[in-house]
Amino acid sequence: MQEIPKQPYAWSIEEFNNDGDLVWSSISQFRPTELSWIRDLPTKKHNIVLTPLYKDESKAEKITGIKSYKESTQKMMEAYNGL
């Protein structure tokens, strides 16, 4: 079994409203150290969930031998049955 790295590869940032519905989500390379960047009204309360994301090389999909933008787009479309 692969050992989980000590540091997350990225962070999932999600905000939920008071009913538990997802308002927005994002992935960040770094864990936010503070949340002053969230745009809002001064009276709004936030429900934020930060989830660490760990890289699993065993499940990585590698695409190699790409020669041009047109060819790489075509390969991606074929691999995922269109966009």
pLDDT in tens, 21-50: 998 899 999 998 887 766 665 667 778 999
Query: What's the half-sphere exposure (Cβ side, CA atoms, 13 Å) at 36?
Result: 2
Question: Does any domain span residue 30?
Answer: yes
Inside any domain, residue 52: yes
Give a yes or no: residue 75 inside a domain: yes
Domain enclosing residue 74, as ranges? 10-79
Classify residue 1: in a domain, yes or no.
no
The strand pair at 22-28 and 10-16 is best described as: antiparallel
Q: Please indicate, yes or no, if residue 2 is contained in any of the structural domains.
A: no
Residue 4 falls inside a structural domain: no
Outline where 6-81 has alpha helix (H).
69-79
Domain assignment present for 63:
yes
pLDDT score for 64: 81
**Domain count for the chain:** 1
Q: How sure is the predictor about 75, in pLDDT bands with cuts at 50, 70 and 90?
A: confident
